[in-house]
Amino acid sequence: MTAKVSRRQFLKLSAAALGGAALMTDTKGVGASSGVDAAAVPAMLIDLSRCVGCGNCQRSCIEANNLHPTTEQMTKLHSENFTYVQEVKLEGNKTRYVKRQCMHCLDAACASACPVSALHQTKEGPIAYKVDRCLGCRYCMVACPFDVPTFQWDDGITPEIRKCMFCIERQRNGEAPACASNCPSGALKVGTRDELLREAHARIAASNGRLVDHVFGEHEAGGTAMLYISDTPFELLGFRTDVTKRPVPGYTWDIMTKLPPVIGSMAVVLTGAAVLTRKRNGHHDDTPPWERDTAHGHVVIDPSGSDERAANDERSAGA
């Protein structure tokens, strides 16, 4: 007796396999590029040579966002603390203060990694959050090259991902972000990214070598809305100077577009290995197990599509 696969069944199986591969390659464009105007996005220039470590920016952020951090939580990014000022002790009895917060990447890895766009890039540019969409998967936390998103571990019922939103609602209402509105030393300046980059490079050029000839955030991770200048090398201040200059989501799509060929190649290799193994063990029937008549059968394609009729004829003949 032979088990038969009709032309229709064969085409269905083939279409399913090819369709799965096509679906995976078709995802390349999703999130692969942010689409925002990098020159026009709202940005912040943070001049570390001017920061005095007063903490006004942090207190203003806490008040504006109705946060309630403990003393210990105020020393790091936390679900109850969106920005803080890190004190860095250097050689020669020197101290520098570094404001930390979300970098608001132009092509954000966190938003790209989120399967439901809970973390998403607003039309203006800042990365914001829609709590009603969040699955709690925390892929964003893994994806972020700056370790920014935090999770409400102490909320066992409706935990959220929390981070700085660059006061997007305040900015839409014509107000400056809370942190920048209360800086007494002029360390923080808000504007479009293009104009702040020009100012940053102008300050560096006018400093006669006092400032490091580098704007951190201009190219890091493909570019960020938070731009730093400093009179101290960034690596001494704990910055990730090894971060890629390419947008992080680009690596994801490079891998995704290669998955279908890889999977197809693996299928061929594994099928060949299975056939060789069976032949070595004295089995010469290459019929898939789900279609095999253990006594004699093998699969053939029935061009007429009359597999049921053939099966009935065989049963009648056997009777």
168 and 124 in contact (C-beta within 8 Å)?
yes
* Per-residue pLDDT at 302: 45
pLDDT digits 0-9 by tens, 62-111: 999 999 999 999 999 999 999 999 999 999 999 999 999 999 999 999 99
* Per-residue pLDDT at 62: 98
Of 29, 303, 50, 65, the C-alpha closest to 183 is: 50
76 and 238 in contact (C-beta within 8 Å)?
no
pTM of the model: 0.71
For 126, the token pair is 């800042």
* Per-residue pLDDT at 246: 87
130 and 165 in contact (C-beta within 8 Å)?
no
* Per-residue pLDDT at 281: 56
**How far are the Cα atoms of 12, 20, 195 from residue 17, in angstroms, in the given order?**
9, 5, 51
* Per-residue pLDDT at 261: 60
* Per-residue pLDDT at 192: 97
Q: What sign for the dihedral angle of Cα 14, 15, 20, 23?
A: positive
Helix/strand/coil (H/E/C) assignment for every residue in the chain: CCEEEEHHHHHHHHHHHHHHHHHHHHHHHCCCCCCCCCCCCEEEEEECCCCCCCCHHHHHHHHHCCCCCCCCHHHCCECCECCEEEEEEECCCEEEEEEECCCCECCCHHHHHCCCCCEEECCCCCEEECHHHCCCCCHHHHHCCCCCCEECCCCCCCCCEECCCCCHHHHHCCCCCCCHHHCCCCCEEEEEHHHHHHHHHHHHHHCCCCCCCCCECCCHHHCECEEEECCCCHHHHCCCCCCCCCCCHHHHHHHHHHHHHHHHHHHHHHHHHHHHHHHHCCCCCCCCHHHCCCCCCCEEEECCCCHHHHHHHHHHHHC
Q: Nearest 5°: CA angle at 51, between 248 and 227? A: 25
Write the burial class of residue 297 (CB in 10 Å: 0-12 exposed, 13-18 middle, 19+ buried): middle
Q: Cα 245 vs. chain centroid, distance in angstroms?
A: 15
* Per-residue pLDDT at 318: 54
Q: Cα 147 vs. chain centroid, distance in angstroms?
A: 12
For 203, the token pair is 């300050």
CA separation for the pair 250, 33 (Å, rounded): 8
* Per-residue pLDDT at 156: 80
Q: Which domains does the chain have, with CATH numbers?
A: 3-26+253-318 (no CATH), 34-246 (3.30.70.20)
* Per-residue pLDDT at 266: 59
Phi–psi pair at 186, nearest 5 degrees: 75, 20
Q: What is the dihedral of CA 114, 118, 121, 124, to 10 degrees?
A: 180
**How far are the Cα atoms of 70, 262, 297 from residue 18, in angstroms, in the given order?**
55, 13, 27
With a cut of 70, list the residues of the chain below it in pLDDT: 1-34, 252-319
